Amino acid sequence: MILILIIPVQGLCAENNSCVSCHEKQNPGLVADWKKSAMSKKGLQCDTCHGDAHTKSDDSAMAKRPSISTCERCHESQAKQFKEGKHAFCEVALTTGNMSKKLWKKAPEIARKSCAVCHLTMGENGGQCDACHTRHRFSPEEAKTPEACLPCHVDNHPQYESYYNSKHGAIYRTEGLTGRSPTCATCHMNNGNHKVLTSWGFFGVRKEEPDERHAECQKGVIDYLSTLGPILAPNSHRATLAEWQDVRNDMLDICSNCHARSFCQAELEKSDEVVNEANCIANDIAITARKLQESGEMNEEDLFWLFRNEVHAQRMSLYINAFHQYPEGVLKEWLHLKQVLRDVRRKKVDR
Ligand code: HEC
Ligand code: HEC
Ligand code: HEC
Ligand code: HEC
Ligand code: HEC
Ligand code: HEC
Ligand code: HEC
Ligand code: HEC
């Protein structure tokens, strides 16, 4: 009888000191997620990632906060690919621009709950690997859904909306992850390649531009971007046409799994024309607005807000919608930019 009593009591004491048994009471949801993960099933423990320095309720500050350096011990290839792609620049992108510096100074409470959520969740300490396969489930299936990208690629960078409203998105909404229709990860992280990088990038400019008129327009775009920033972040555009073409060819290889290559090439070239148009309207707006500023009809602050609120996101959304096959989005943004151009030409500066 006595023996039977002692064994469970000792067992209980040992259990109490372990991470799981205490956290099962503290945060049952977290532990349940972990138990479903492949890593848990392979025998990894909480302390593999958090260390074993924290063991009591009152010393939790001793627990390590894992980042990419924790994961790369065992997932070297994903970490290497991640570092070669744009997601590794999330934190730098946030700290290089003047706009960002101003916001951190003037309204840190806003910066912390906006810019920082998207940029640091991904980029802090070189990279947070739980942005798409969230802790502690760490599921690759979850990361393959467009919803894994949604919290960041939305609204001002409307890739989610444009994908969602495309034929590809419609099939995904009907069928789910059957593989018949591509999701974000199919096109941007094909075969689990963690390097994300596109030809045009977010800003829709490249260093070598064979089309002379478009080259001029791109200069104008970079000029207005510097009014906002300078916000051209590291690796924001491809340095040579050859590099631009390499990335494009990789994308066409992916399209060709399901479509004729020539069909997709034609579709992407139509979208390149939209980049050209978007940049040239934005350049026209910038030239006109600068003249108004020089003649004293528009002040520095109005110029800033014109670019920030009426041109910046709309210019990029125009071609983002084209590349992701969202026709109504293309028309809507184009009409908006044309309206802004008409207004500045008529000197309607109070918009
Ligand atoms: C006796 C209970 C207990 C044990 C044992 C325990 N923890 Fe904790 N842990 C806590 C409490 C309490 C907190 C703070 C929770 C809160 O603020 O709600 C915490 C917080 C944490 C945090 C978050 C720290 C942060 O940065 O905020 C991590 C990570 C963590 N524990 C991991 C572990 C690991 C790994 C082990 C085993 C090596 C472990 N815990 C063992 C009770 C425990
Ligand atoms: C494969 C690595 C890994 C393992 C194993 C792991 N965690 Fe975590 N944990 C993370 C990551 C990544 C974060 C997020 C860190 C950050 O963003 O600062 C985190 C954050 C936390 C946090 C604080 C954030 C929150 O949501 O409350 C707690 C508490 C925590 N882990 C507890 C545990 C416990 C308990 C276990 C074991 C059941 C465990 N972790 C196992 C990777 C891991
Ligand atoms: C000590 C080695 C180790 C560390 C550290 C580690 N992992 Fe793992 N990871 C594994 C093993 C082992 C597997 C299981 C592989 C399998 O089942 O084939 C795995 C699997 C995974 C999977 C795939 C899960 C699935 O369902 O197929 C993901 C995602 C993952 N890890 C993410 C992470 C992240 C993120 C971190 C850092 C926060 C991390 N791992 C840290 C060893 C590790
Ligand atoms: C909803 C999430 C989110 C918020 C909030 C956010 N960003 Fe971003 N940011 C992104 C995404 C996603 C991209 C990349 C979009 C793309 O490539 O189409 C990006 C791109 C950038 C870039 C360009 C990087 C490059 O090289 O292409 C800069 C600079 C930037 N953001 C700064 C900021 C600043 C400053 C703030 C706050 C005023 C902010 N962001 C708020 C998600 C966000
Ligand atoms: C932008 C989203 C995203 C981020 C950030 C991300 N992953 Fe992944 N990860 C994915 C996707 C999508 C898959 C599934 C790929 C597939 O199976 O096609 C995946 C799969 C994995 C797998 C399973 C691989 C396999 O063959 O089963 C591991 C391991 C992994 N990721 C580790 C990491 C590590 C380590 C990091 C940080 C360096 C990281 N991931 C950051 C999206 C992401
Ligand atoms: C059918 C393939 C495909 C799917 C699905 C897809 N994209 Fe794209 N994406 C593209 C192409 C093509 C471009 C333009 C590449 C270039 O610059 O030439 C692009 C561009 C981008 C860019 C760079 C800036 C820009 O022009 O938009 C980001 C960021 C992006 N996509 C994110 C996403 C996200 C997030 C999803 C899911 C919500 C998604 N994409 C779905 C093919 C796809
Ligand atoms: C936590 C927020 C976050 C999540 C989740 C996220 N991203 Fe991003 N992504 C960003 C930010 C911020 C950038 C811009 C980084 C920079 O340029 O500095 C970016 C950049 C990109 C780019 C590079 C575009 C270019 O400039 O060439 C692609 C492609 C991309 N993301 C695809 C994805 C896909 C696909 C997913 C989901 C599987 C995803 N992202 C999930 C925040 C996120
Ligand atoms: C995983 C398979 C898959 C991949 C990869 C894929 N698509 Fe599709 N796509 C489809 C399917 C299925 C449809 C629906 C066909 C229909 O409309 O009958 C479709 C429809 C389309 C449509 C609209 C329908 C039409 O006939 O005009 C366009 C445009 C398109 N895809 C372009 C692309 C481009 C460009 C790429 C690469 C950047 C790409 N797709 C990658 C499967 C794919």
Q: Which residue has the higher pLDDT, 19 or 225?
A: 19
Report how far ligand 8's centroid is from the alpha carbon of 90 (Å).
Answer: 30
Which residue type, as a one-letter code, is found at position 105?
K
| Pocket of ligand 8 contains residue 270 by CB under 6 Å | no
**pLDDT level of residue 4 (50, 70, 90 thresholds):** very low
Report how far ligand 1's centroid is from the alpha carbon of 199 (Å).
Answer: 44
| Pocket of ligand 6 contains residue 248 by CB under 6 Å | yes
| For range 253-268, the mean pLDDT | 98
- Atom number in ligand 6 closest to CA 152: 35
Mutational pocket test of ligand 3: of 35, 45, 74, 135, the residue with most ligand atoms within 8 Å of the beta carbon: 74
Q: What is the pLDDT of residues 6-48, one digit of tens each?
A: 333 333 333 345 899 999 999 999 999 999 999 999 999 999 9
| Pocket of ligand 3 contains residue 243 by CB under 6 Å | no
Q: Residue 90: nearest ligand to its CA?
A: 7
Q: Which residue has the higher pLDDT, 200 or 5?
A: 200
Report how far ligand 2's centroid is from the alpha carbon of 32 (Å).
Answer: 12
Closest CA to ligand 8's atom 17: 167
Which residue type, as a one-letter code, is found at position 244?
W
In angstroms, the CA 29 to CA 96 distance is: 38
CA distances for 274 relative to 36, 122, 214, 267, angstroms: 45, 30, 11, 11
Q: Which residue has the higher pLDDT, 348 or 346?
A: 346
Total length of the chain = 351
Answer whether 206's CB lies under 8 Å from 235's CB.
Answer: no
**pLDDT level of residue 87 (50, 70, 90 thresholds):** very high
Q: What is the pLDDT of residues 61-71, one digit of tens each?
A: 999 999 999 99
Mutational pocket test of ligand 4: of 96, 117, 118, the residue with most ligand atoms within 8 Å of the beta carbon: 118
Q: So what's the pLDDT on residue 100?
A: 84
pLDDT higher than 70, residue 102: yes
Q: So what's the pLDDT on residue 2?
A: 44
Ligand 4 pocket, residues with Cβ under 6 angstroms = 93-94, 97, 99-100, 103, 114-115, 118-119, 152-154, 157, 201-203, 231, 233, 236
Report how far ligand 1's centroid is from the alpha carbon of 74 (Å).
Answer: 23
In angstroms, the CA 126 to CA 88 distance is: 6
Q: What is the pLDDT of residues 168-193, one digit of tens each?
A: 999 999 999 999 999 999 999 999 99
Q: So what's the pLDDT on residue 40?
A: 97
Angle at 225 between CA 219 and CA 226, to 5 degrees: 95
Closest CA to ligand 7's atom 15: 90
Ligand 7 pocket, residues with Cβ under 6 angstroms = 86-87, 89-90, 93, 118-119, 121-122, 131-132, 143, 148-149, 151-153, 184-185, 188-189, 196-198, 201-202, 233
| For range 282-304, the mean pLDDT | 94
Burial of 196 (0-12, 13-18, 19+ CB in 10 A): middle
Predicted TM-score (pTM) above 0.85: yes
| Pocket of ligand 3 contains residue 34 by CB under 6 Å | no
Q: Which residue has the higher pLDDT, 194 or 3?
A: 194
In angstroms, the CA 351 to CA 349 distance is: 6
